Amino acid sequence: MRILNLAFKRETAIPMLALTFASAASFALVVARIAWTGNIRYGFLIWNLFLAWLPLVFALLACEKYQATSSGNWHFRGLVITWLLFFPNAPYIFTDLIHLTGSLYHHFWVDMVLILLCALTGLVLGFVSLYLMQAVVARILGRWASWIFIAIVAGLSGFGIYLGRFLRFNSWDVLFKPFELSRGIGQWAANPFSSSMTFVFPALFATFLFIAYVMLYALTHLQQAPQLRPPPEA
């Protein structure tokens, strides 16, 4: 109930309703595909979409804690760190396109649209949480620092998605597999240019996230179009 009250405040109610609708539609389509084909192959999209909601939950809690304390205490910092750990789960769904084979098959286009819908929903979920966190950083450090924060988050997220897709680590492995995770990061740091995947993929995905966020940010600041007057009568 607390999360619902935070999410559906006047300032965030419209995007929350849109994201809830998109998530419900994605869930229904995944279930429909499973029922239609009798194959649970794409059931993982439901779990990935759930994970994409978590950064938004942590961002809402972090914003509430900051507003309540007017300064960053340990609880607020813990929520920010948790948000950052789970943030890559939101855009990660785009990498699920790998499950589409190179050749066309019977349900190829259906599956492509299904994955893209879930991926777009996850991306916007992540960006709404990022927008909220940017507002907090701008309040603390200033506007320009908030954009440096965006660039850093994009870079870390690109690397986090690489760890998830290619090294198969999860956000919670920080607690449950810390040694394996540190070993994987250490091996990457020892030779980050060993292949195109180890460097180019994180860099390109970070660039994609930054540019996509800038475009979404610009849309949120789009001025309302002036009312058009009817053309003069001939």
8 Å CB contact between 130 and 146: no
What pLDDT was estimated at residue 203?
Answer: 94
| Amino acid letter for position 71 | S
Rounded alpha-carbon distances, angstroms, from residue 152 to 164, 169, 184, 224: 18, 20, 21, 31
Quick check: is 225 in a domain?
no
CA 34, chain centre distance (Å): 25
Q: Is residue 233 part of a domain?
A: no
pLDDT of residue 175: 84
* Residue at 19 is within a domain: yes
Extract the residue ranges of the chain whose pLDDT is less than 70.
1-8, 70-72, 102-105, 223-234
231 inside domain: no
- Whether 93 and 124 have beta carbons less than 8 Å apart is answered as no
Looking at residue 78, what is its pLDDT? 92
- Number of independent structural domains in the chain: 1
CA 11 to CA 42: how far, in whole Å?
34
Structure tokens at 79: 């929520």
Q: What's the pLDDT score for residue 206?
A: 96
Q: Which of 90, 91, 104, 100 is nearest to 41 (CA)?
A: 100
The candidate with the shortest Cα–Cα distance to 209, out of 162, 139, 142, 141, is 162
Tell me the residue range of the domain where 132 lies. Answer: 2-220
Residue 171 within a domain:
yes
pLDDT at 228: 55
Residue 214 falls inside a structural domain: yes
Within 10 angstroms of residue 45's Cβ, the number of other Cβ atoms is 25
164 belongs to a structural domain = yes
d(Cα 44, Cα 38) in Å, to the nearest integer? 15
Inside any domain, residue 158: yes
